[in-house]
A and B are shown apart, each in its own frame.
Chain A
Amino acid sequence: MNWPLYVTPAHIVRLYDRFEALDKEKTGHLRPQDFGAINRLAMNPIGDRIIGAFFSPGQETVDFHSFVRILAHFRPADKKHPKDPSMPEPVNSRTSKLKFAFQLYDQDKDGKISRAELLQVLRSMLEMQVTEEQLESIADRTIQEADLDKDDAISFEEFRKSLEKVNIDHKMSIRFLR
């Protein structure tokens, strides 16, 4: 198989072990319930969304290739090899990291984080600690702050803009994938 520079061979070996371990029925594919079996993931407030991100729409399983491809989003950007303009955008670029985060919010895949979608995420992240009113005012404020075209939703451009001062490469990377 051709690995388009997502990760290093060492990572692939390691991730393959993990993949095998998760793949209890040895089908070569992971199903959502295989992810659900990870205990701590069940406790993660946005765990189900992240599991969802592994499955492209309409598909019930994920093979190893996609598995690695998704995880490769969290590879720190490679500073030593400057971006080759002729190459396609790498999966660990700032934009694709942001896209990954964006689609965690944008569950209906309409390219916009609507108020309802934002509220859902907020609700799961804040659990019971906040009243609905507080949630709503936070959501309102968030949208108002990011929403540049006044459509009461956050598009990807607006999402990117609202985070333009954040070092995404630091905040959306995992060390072991270096």
Chain B
Amino acid sequence: PLRRYASPGIALARSAEEPSATTEDGGESHRHGGGFQMVQWEWSYVQTPYIIAIWILVASVAKILFHFSQRFTTVVPESCMLILLGLVLGGIVLLTSKKQLYQLEPGLFFLFLLPTIVGDAGYFMPARLFFDNLGAILLYAVVGTLWNAFCTGFCLYGVKLLGVIDQKVQAGLMEFLLFGALISAVDPVAVLAVFEEVHVNETLFIIVFGESLLNDAVTVVLYKVYMSFVEVGPENVQTADYFKGVASFLIVSIGGTMVGLIFAALLAFITRFTKKVRIIEPLLVFLMVYLAYLTAELFSLSAILSMTFCGIGCNKYVEANISQKSRTTVKYTMKTLASIAETIIFIFLGISAVDKSKWAWDTGLISCTLIFIFVFRALGVVMQTWVLNWFRLVPLDKIDQVVMSYGGLRGAVAFALVVLLDAERVPAKDYFVATTIIVVFFTVMFQGLTIKPLVNWLKVPRATNRKPTINEEIHERAFDHCLTAVEDIAGLNGYHHWRDKWEQFDKNYLSKLLLRKSVYRKSELWEVYQKINIRDAISVIDQGGNVLTSARLSLPSMASRASFPEVTNVTNYLRENGSGVCLDLQVIDNVPGAKVEEESETHHFLAGNLYKPRRRYQSHYSRHFMTVGDHERQDREIFQRNMKSRMETFKTTRHKRHSHKKDRSQKKAGIPKRNDWISCGGASGVEDEKGEHLEPEKEEDVGITFVARKVPDTPKERPKSGVSEPSMAPPSPTCSERNLPWKGGIGTLPVCVSMEATKIIPIDLQQAWNQSISSLESLASPPGPVEPLHPASAPLQAGRAEEGALSDQEQELQPLMSSSVRPPGPPPPPPLAQGLGRRRNPCVYLRSLVTAPPPGSEPLARSRGPTQL
């Protein structure tokens, strides 16, 4: 095996062997007395997992604490703080037990901590960016690392001969070369930790980070080769051994990559068949990616390469195959694991430094190493960039080179490798360990601390955290095709030519094999389109949900717009019948999901506490309906005014829409446009999954499912309908009003079964009810063969009647409508209608109305309505 480190079992056992001295468990183990004990102290039983859990807890708490101070964390990188914390903790342990008990165990590090970070990095690697810069990355990773390793090694040997390094450091050329090899590799953990806070532009980041991942093969081979050279002694090394070294490099790197790609293909293939067992999808992803790492390690290939390429390779297919929930789970779990692993690594690096056995200080060695790695890194970067810029479309300028040189951070990999050295064979091990610790601390802390000001000072272009708009997506695709075509015309097989070939191959063979049939038929651009829509809708809901009063919202994908008149309507739309859409989106994104649940909880809480006021309110209503009096008139007036403003909004938006869509609807006359229905259907599709524990929502599910049947096989999330169809928005209720039906959970309201819902409407509310419907119909119904009537031009009722004739459901609406027909002018129903009406989304209305029998007699309706409310 390539890395001969202690197995993780030993690593854990090591900390387990000496439990009595740790701060948590000092001196408890003597208490085992004879006889039966009511409460037994089973420390030895739980010890190992307990200690691990405690450490993770410490790491998490540390993370939380650091982020308390916003100002502090923007200046000091987290990694620095964690190392400092580690130093403190190490000091405490050392003081209490006179001996360091914990250190970063190579076994633990390579088998558990590193894979979580690399797995996350590989899986979420921006593939296009990575392959666009693959040439540069490979050059820096291979040539750069070799250059660093050799130069550092030889020069250290040189200064040793010159006498700068103390004679106590017993090391020859081979030892220094070995040390050079392990200290020269840029470390992925450190780079990630530092660069994630700096936010340099993507190209720069991907080059440095890609290098840090791909140089693993070089480091591994060099380390292995030198180890064997040190073992046999430099004088016995034959020429053939150097060639073997080169061959082994090829095997280790290419083999590692192959293993990764094989596992990627396997994983993608397996996820094709998980439709019935969605629950294991995330697990499969973790397992296979981890197995790729372990398998490569098993064959002593480059495990990091293997895992990285497994992640990059499988991402596209796996993400398409697995469900949305699984995607979220994978993302969050990976990020959580990686973040905690990173935290533990840095804390343990700090702790490891507080160890007397490691304090073999040699100023000459340390300062020379620091200088050399910095100088050679910079030199290497400049020279390689000079070569690269001959070939690169976008040359790397001087600022980029400075950041790249400065970003050459060394980290835990170097430390773990140096700890693995055999002190028997490498007598200078202690010096090397001490030097490595200093180098790691210096690069992570000093450079990590100063890189941000440096980047600011140099005005390095930053990464924009902006998601591409649909325009950009489309046009960039067109650009790609364009460039491919131009390369073909100009007769050269350039990068775009090969990328196009690969895409063809992927489309014709790979995707067919690795993607589900249902997914394969979907277009990528369509997915992108949906994602953008969902993102917009989420942001709208986020803003609309938080700031109900704010009329103006900005959509992220429409950043360039100064004003966006429809947005207000979008908000209203989402507020109005949002809960369906809302829930749908929460499934897609976890964060608002939690929020809404919280809100509903708050609701239940409030409902409990605001019980009395509410009751009074209701009784007021019931009285109100029994006796038609001044109150009613007053209320009607209010409602009238509301309706008027509603109509105004509707008129303006409708008008716009009208002119917008005119030519289109004419073009495809006869084809009912179902998009809007689809949107509702899609919403329910996902909602069904979510809504299970939100009982009162059931009704909406049912209602929407009915709609979804129209297009059964295509659950499409299209919150866009909200965005694109400027909706006629009835006066927006407050958030709490909207959510009232949720209170059904605590029994104030009967669970709103659709039938009941209609029955309980008092007859004089039918008017308002129907109006809500009509408004929502026009919102939800397709601009089908007949353009929806302009509500301003045609009186509401008449307009609806005409429309109603179009579809079955609406025909069934007729009795309802006719029973409540009033003079078509100002619609005067009392405000309760709003309260009832706005709680349900349009589909539900329709549904409930379809199933509802014509309303009962007036008295019945009156008596039931208010009481049931």
Q: Which residues of A contact B (CB under 8 A)?
A: 15, 18, 21-22, 35, 38, 40-41, 43-47, 50, 54, 71, 74, 76, 79, 101, 104-105, 115, 121-122, 125-126, 129-130, 133-134, 136-138, 140-142, 144-146, 148, 150, 152, 159, 161-166, 169-176, 178
Contact = CB atoms under 8 A, between A and B. Distances in A.
B494 A163 contact: no
Contact of B500 (A40, A105, A129, A142): A40
B393 A142 contact: no
Nearest to A73: B486
Contacts, number: 160
B504 A43 contact: yes
B674 interface: yes
Contacts of A125: 474, 477-478, 481, 525
Contact of A137 (B394, B485, B724): B724
Contacts of A35: 489
B492 A133 contact: no
B724 A41 contact: no
A140 B673 CA distance: 13
Contact of B472 (A18, A41, A163, A172): A163
A41 B526 CA distance: 25
Interface string B422-450: 00000000000000000000000000000
B490 interface: yes
Interface in B176-194: none
B497 A40 contact: yes
Q: Which 9 residue pairs spanning A and B have beta carbons closest together?
A: A129-B523, A162-B471, A175-B393, A18-B491, A50-B485, A130-B523, A44-B485, A40-B488, A41-B488
Interface string B471-508: 11011111101111111111110111100100010000
A141 B494 contact: no
Contacts of A144: 723-724
B485 A101 contact: no
B490 A150 contact: no
B724 A18 contact: no
A50 B393 CA distance: 22
Given A40-B500, A46-B481, A46-B482, 12 more contacts: A18-B490, A44-B485, A79-B395, A101-B482, A125-B525, A137-B720, A138-B529, A144-B724, A148-B561, A163-B472, A165-B559, A174-B393
B168 interface: no
Contact of A163 (B464, B471, B723): B471
B710 interface: no
Contacts of B678: 133
A142 B478 CA distance: 14
Interface of B: 391-395, 464, 466, 469-472, 474-479, 481-492, 494-497, 500, 504, 521-523, 525-526, 529, 532-533, 557-561, 656, 660, 664, 673-675, 678, 716, 718, 720, 723-724
Contacts of B478: 46, 101, 104-105, 121, 125
B724 A141 contact: yes
B472 A129 contact: no
Nearest to A76: B393
10 contacts: A22-B491, A40-B484, A44-B485, A71-B490, A122-B474, A129-B522, A133-B678, A141-B720, A165-B560, A175-B393
B471 A46 contact: no
A47 B500 CA distance: 13
Given A125-B477, A175-B392, A44 B522 contact: no
A145 B488 CA distance: 33
A126 B392 CA distance: 30
Binding site of B, secondary structure by majority: helix, strand, loop or mixed?
Answer: helix
A148 B394 CA distance: 32
A170 B558 CA distance: 23
Contacts of B490: 15, 18, 71, 174, 176
A21 B491 contact: yes
Contact of A38 (B476, B482, B489, B532): B489
In this complex, which of A101, A141, A169 has the most chain B Cβ atoms within 10 angstroms of its Cβ?
A141
B489 A104 contact: no
B112 to A, nearest CB: 40
Contacts of B495: 175
A123 to B, nearest CB: 11
A165 B500 contact: no
Contacts of A141: 470, 529, 532-533, 720, 723-724
A141 B497 CA distance: 30
A104 B469 CA distance: 20
Nearest to A118: B474
Contact of A176 (B476, B489, B494, B523): B494
B526 A138 contact: yes
Nearest to B497: A40
A45 B481 contact: yes
B393 A178 contact: yes
Given A137-B529, A176-B492, A171 B481 contact: no
B347 to A, nearest CB: 40
Nearest to A114: B663
Nearest to B479: A171
A145 B664 contact: no
Contacts of B476: 166, 171
A74 B483 contact: yes
A65 to B, nearest CB: 15
B479 A162 contact: no
A46 B475 CA distance: 12
B523 A126 contact: yes
Contact of B557 (A43, A133, A136, A145): A145
A105 B482 CA distance: 12
Nearest to B560: A161
Contacts of A178: 393
A174 B494 contact: yes
B489 A41 contact: yes
Contacts of A21: 491
B683 to A, nearest CB: 15
Nearest to B555: A145
Contacts of B395: 79
Given A115-B664, A125-B477, A145-B470, A140 B724 contact: yes
Nearest to A44: B485
Given A46-B485, A141-B470, A175 B494 contact: yes
B393 A172 contact: no
Given A137-B675, A145-B470, A152 B488 contact: no
A129 B526 contact: yes
In this complex, which of B394, B521, B723 has the most chain A Cβ atoms within 10 angstroms of its Cβ?
B394
A161 to B, nearest CB: 6
Nearest to B662: A152
Contacts of B675: 133, 136-137
Contact of B525 (A50, A138, A163): A138
